[in-house]
Structure 1
Amino acid sequence: MTDWRPPSEGLGRRSLIAGGLAALAAGVVPLAARDRSAVDRLQGLTPAPDGGPPSRTHDLTLVAAEREAAVLGPGQPLTRVWSFAPEGSPVLPVLRARVGDRINATLENRLAQHTSIHWHGIRLPNGMDGVPYLTQAPVRPGERFAYAFDLPDAGTFFLHPHCDESGGAGRGLMAVLIVEGDAPPGYADAELTVAIKDWRLAQDGGFLPFETKEGAGRAGTFGTIRGVNGVAGPLRATVPTGGLVRLRLLNLDSTRIVQIGVEGAEAALIATDGHALQPIAQDDLPDSAWRLGPAMRADLLVQAPARAGEILRIVDFASAEPWLVAELTAAGPRLNRGPFAPKPLYAATVPRADTGAAEPLTFTFGASSGASAAAEIAAGLAPGDPLAKVLLDSLCVRDTSLWAVNQVPWPSGPDAVLPPPLGTLKAGRPYVFEWVNTTPHPHPIHLHGHAFEVLSSSRQKLPRHLADTVILNPRERIEIAFVAAPGDWMLHCHILEHLEYGMMGYLRVAA
């Protein structure tokens, strides 16, 4: 059990925590004391005040390598994970910066296969999006690639590879990115990052196959070991007695959809996929919990128990038996916070679509008719398009297609080439997408490079909120709205076997 720490005064110039990369520990860490200004207004929320701290540049090197880690716990066999964290550290590192800061990150690949970094949820230039063959060349073993971009949004984000994602992320090649600057001073007394991920491990610590054809064609192949922050089992930590604690929850699993609730404390949802919304009391959420599909995040504000030694629990209620995610024990002198009345975070800086002027488009997520469909549409790119003859390698395709978007699967087989876009949009224009699920399985759908507003659902009672990934239930229709940014942006299911077996494509947004 790790003790919480009192609030700090923020981060130093040209640095992330501990010189650029820190291990994600079990302890509670503070919110920053000052917050950078927000620009746009989310309905009902207040923009951040002007005059925040100046922006900084963070220079770091992320070394992708195989390392030993005690995923199964102390005294158990070690696992050869893939990680950006130093040898002997917890698998999942955490990076921290502030909104408006600049990231200069060099990826150094010491793995035996090519890789890249997709900065999930970050609105950045298309060339920095980290999709091999579409936005950049694969980073081969021994090579480096430099990512450089500003951070326009505060929130909770993460990063991961984008070819052989079930294998790379399955082995742990991910990191958490926390961008501070959305909380008024004194908003919370402490903060805790809770990254949920299953592991497909045998008892000897070795990896089991990350995908199966049966799982790929259904709801996905589930892990054998459930864990939090890169270690098997629930997280246990202390929190300040009576204090307000911000929980940054991330579902980093390849397959599992979780339904998160809090027991033993009052709680409210304050952000979705990193973006603020009016606080919603837990009891007012559907089923008194919030569902997170793979790649989705949620920030909760909870009030710790009023007596030292009392416990609050974070629970996944989607399991056949509720699974304990975290057990937090109140410790130290009681903080007099008064009745639980959560204040909103500052408004997000995301451009908002004028739905009245938006162009509507429909995308259907369904089963594939077979690998031949990809070959038939492969010639759809214009001959002069520089992407027209890009040959995809075996890490970026599978041997067959099981899923599709608008009846078009991502290419498969040994001669797969980059397909044409699913659609062409215009930069700066508002769009309303209708996403339709024709399958008997849920699909968390992710759009790269954008934060969209979830407008409506045919089957869920969802609040209007900003997101970059949303669960599309079986036979459901969901409407989302956004303003298009220039580039080629992936659109796919984030159950990793589903995207690898065809439920993936890209949108071209012309400047």
Structure 2
Amino acid sequence: MISRRAVLLGGAAAGAAGFAPSALGRLPTSRDTLPKSAPVRRLALAAGEMEAPLLGPGKPRTKGVCTYDGTPFLTLRAPVGTRLQVDFENRLPDPTTVHWHGVRVPYLSDGVSPLTQAPIPAGGRFSYDVPLPDPGFYFFHPHCDETGQVGRGLVALLLVDDPAEAKLGFDAEHFVIVKDWRLDADNGRWLEMFTDEGASTSGTFGTVRATNGSVTPPRVEAPAYGDVRLRVIVADNTRTIDFGCDTEDAAIIAIDGQALPPLLLSKLPDEIWRMGPAMRLDVHVRMPAPGAEVKVYDYRTAEPYLLTTLVAVDKGRKKTSFRPKALPPPKVPQPDLKRATRLDYLVQTAAGPIVTAEPLPPDDPLAKALIASACVGSRTFWAINRNSWGAGPDLRLPPPLMTLRDGDSYILSITNVTKHVHPMHLHGHIFRVLSSSKKPGIPPYLADTVMTEPNETVEIAFRATSGDWVFHCHILEHMDSGLMGWFRVL
């Protein structure tokens, strides 16, 4: 199954393919986030296609479902402090890469073509160095033809376990993976993932809603009066949800894998947490009496959409008062807010490809880099400070939004002047969300992706790490049609 973008592969992709890291010349230093003595786990990983009953039992099966190791929503787990040496093989018919979302990897393992590597062709291989310095809930996915490949299921979960969390005594763990399918309901065939109408507005939505890959919302048993750890991810290309539960005994204990003091859902505005593509939550839910249920919903739709039902079963427990469990505090690098440099960025629409920033020096090894046409969309609709990532006929790598200094702290003010939401993701960093012009009551928290609403200004802060790092909207069509830039940190 060859995608529309793969057909467009030509001279631009060939130019990028020769742009391997070993040929890049002088680059920013690639920082390691673990000591060389860290334990190593070597693993083989392959991306490929399979057939699956996405429409449900008794309905036509769908070909060309993309998975890692032949397992829909593959889950990998490793202890914090482990280094993964990943030998990746591309068994897809199209080029791909692997991006380790939220993980503080050396930038040459970040999986962004052509910034950190060339696209991996069909049948090609690439080795990734993936240190795991921080516990939490992460995931990995392609960063080439991301709209098409993620749209067809190429997403996997990565859990980095902290031994100290075992003492908290959760009775059950359950994943809620929000991922829709864009299918013809009659024959199970894929519909076009990237449309100009969707890419230029709120995105092209799936036609079949699903949780954990199934059109039937899961029902999960847990001990009555017990404690469940929900791990929620929006793995969809486009969908934004308003996550909530029909119980007051529920609290957010981590955002994007980073612990925070427990935040009761009942104390939030409308008792929901808004999540866009790539965003994750860990939620502590106290189960009710035997036979009762806790329903987990997306409240953003006209009628609340049921994501999962937790069913309380009698295990001889007695009712106790609900006290949310606090995870160990994060140890990620923290910005120095008193010495931070402030940078202002507008997320805006664009009538076509725009680049207003100063170009890279001619002798910079990335100055002539070309973006593979297989990795982006066919049109440009978006920009950051009037600078658009290469798309359509404009496949040159744009200059960086800014050159930053390794170890220095920065405050980014992100203002969304469009009519649509944009979940903004910064690669290689965990940042602190400081404030929002529309959500003044939310306390600061750590994350790697932050939602920006129309006409909202959000401030985030981080300590910069050496490398070349992209900053983009995680509504994938927006990213593929220009809403991505990059920072060089020297």
Q: TM-score, normalised by structure 2?
A: 0.89
Which residue number corresponds to residue 216 of structure 2?
233
Instruction: Indicate which of 407, 426, 439 corresponds to 1:428.
Output: 407
Where 2:168 maps in the other structure, the secondary structure is coil
Q: 1:86 to 1:119 in 2, by over 3 A?
A: closer
CA contact (8 A) 1:244 1:337 kept: no
Q: In structure 1, what residue type is equivalent to 2:458?
A: I
| Mapping of residues 41-120 of structure 1, within 5 Å | 56-87=39-70, 89=71, 91-120=72-101
Q: Deviations over 1:235-282 (max 9, x none)?
A: 221112211010000001111110111114610010000000000111
Question: 1:210 aligned to 2:189?
Answer: no
The aligned runs of 1:149-298 (5 Å cut-off) are: 149-181=130-162, 183=165, 185-203=167-185, 204-264=187-247, 266-298=249-281
Contact kept? 2:168, 2:325, Cα under 8 Å: no
Shift of 1:397: 3.0
Distance 2:410 2:448 in 1: 15
For residue 55 of structure 1, report the CA deviation from its aligned partner: 6.2
Note if contact 2:45-2:69 (Cα within 8 Å) is conserved in structure 1. Answer: no
Q: Secondary structure at the match of 1:361?
A: strand
Distance 1:119 1:306 in 2: 40
- 8 Å contact 1:393–1:414 — kept in the other structure? no
Q: What's the CA shift for 1:415?
A: 5.1
**Is it true that 1:316 corresponds to 2:298 in the alignment?**
yes
Match of 2:282, SS?
Answer: strand
Distance 1:155 1:98 in 2: 10
Partners of 2:481 and 2:363 lie apart in 1 by: 28
Q: Any idea what SS the aligned residue of 1:435 has?
A: strand
Aligned residue for 2:103, secondary structure, equals coil
449, 458, 468: which is aligned to 1:478?
A: 458
Q: In structure 2, give the amino acid aligned to 1:343.
A: K
Distance (whole Å) between structure 2 residues aligned to residue 260 and residue 243 of structure 1: 21
Cα distance change of structure 1 residues 314 and 58 upon mapping to structure 2, 3 Å threshold = same
Equivalence for 1:446: 425
Give aligned pairs, total: 452
1:493 is aligned, of 466, 473, 476, to 473
Aligned AA (2:284): L
Question: Does the 8 A contact of 1:265 with 1:304 survive in 2?
Answer: no
Q: Identify the residue that residue 373 of structure 2 maps to in structure 1.
A: 394
> How far 1:503 sits from its partner (Å)?
0.6
2:303 partner amino acid: E
Q: Distance in 2 between matches of 1:248 and 1:415?
A: 39
**Alignment pair present for 1:509 and 2:484:** no
Could you list the runs of 5+ residues in structure 1 that have no partner in the other structure? 1-38, 40-53
Q: Residue 381 of structure 2 contacts residue 481 of structure 2 at CA under 8 Å; is this kept in 1? A: yes
Q: How far did residue 305 of structure 1 move?
A: 1.5
Which sections of structure 2, spanning at least 5 residues, go unmatched? 1-32
The residue number in structure 1 matching 2:416 is 437
What is the SS of the residue equivalent to 2:373? coil
- Partner Cα distance (1:103, 1:316) in 2: 35
**Among 370, 386, 389, which residue is 1:407 paired with?**
386
In the alignment, is the contact (CA less than 8 A) between 1:243 and 1:336 conserved in 2? no
The percentage of counterpart residues that share the same residue type is 46
Confirm or deny: 8 A CA contact 2:284 2:325 kept in the other structure.
Answer: no
Q: Secondary structure at the match of 1:345?
A: coil
Give the letter for the 1:484 counterpart.
A
Q: For residue 286 of structure 1, report the CA deviation from its aligned partner.
A: 2.0
Which string of whole-angstrom CA distances, capped at 9 and with x for unpartnered residues, describes residues 222-241 of structure 1? 11111111222312211122
| Aligned-pair Cα RMSD in Å | 1.7
**2:391/2:480 contact within 8 Å kept:** no
Once residues 431 and 260 of structure 1 are traced to their aligned partners in structure 2, the CA distance between those partners, rounded to angstroms, is 30
CA contact (8 A) 1:184 1:345 kept: no
Find the counterpart in structure 1 of residue 282 from structure 2: 299
Aligned to 1:126: 107
Rounded Cα–Cα distance in structure 1 between residues aligned with 2:302 and 2:194: 22
TM-score scaled by length of structure 1: 0.85
Kindly provide the amino acid, as one letter, of the partner of residue 111 in structure 1: L
More deviation, 111-120/227-236: 227-236
**1:398: how far off?**
2.9
> Which of 440-449 and 392-401 deviates more?
392-401
Residues of 2 paired with 1:334 and 1:83: CA distance?
43
Q: CA deviation at 1:150?
A: 1.4
User: Is the 8 Å Cα contact of residues 48 and 69 (structure 2) preserved in structure 1?
Assistant: no
1:457-490 Cα distance to aligned partner (Å, 9 max, x none): 1111322100100110101111111100110101
CA distance in 2, matches of 1:409, 1:274: 30
C-alpha distance in structure 2 between counterparts of 1:252 and 1:226, whole Å: 12
Residues 420-471 of structure 1: CA deviation (Å, up to 9, x unaligned): 1111100100111100111111110000011100001111132210010011
Q: Secondary structure at the match of 1:231?
A: coil
Distance verdict in 2 for CA 1:86–1:483, change over 3 Å: closer
1:314-393 equivalent positions in 2, closer than 5 A = 314-336=296-318, 338-371=320-353, 373-374=354-355, 380-393=359-372
| Shift, 1:332, TM fit | 4.0
SS at match of 2:160: strand
CA contact (8 A) 1:243 1:334 kept: no
User: Cα distance, 1:85 vs. partner?
Assistant: 4.4
Structure 1 residue 193, shift from structure 2 partner: 1.1
Q: Distance in 1 between matches of 2:234 and 2:269?
A: 18
Which portions of structure 1, spanning 4 or more consecutive aligned residues, are displaced by more than 6 angstroms? none
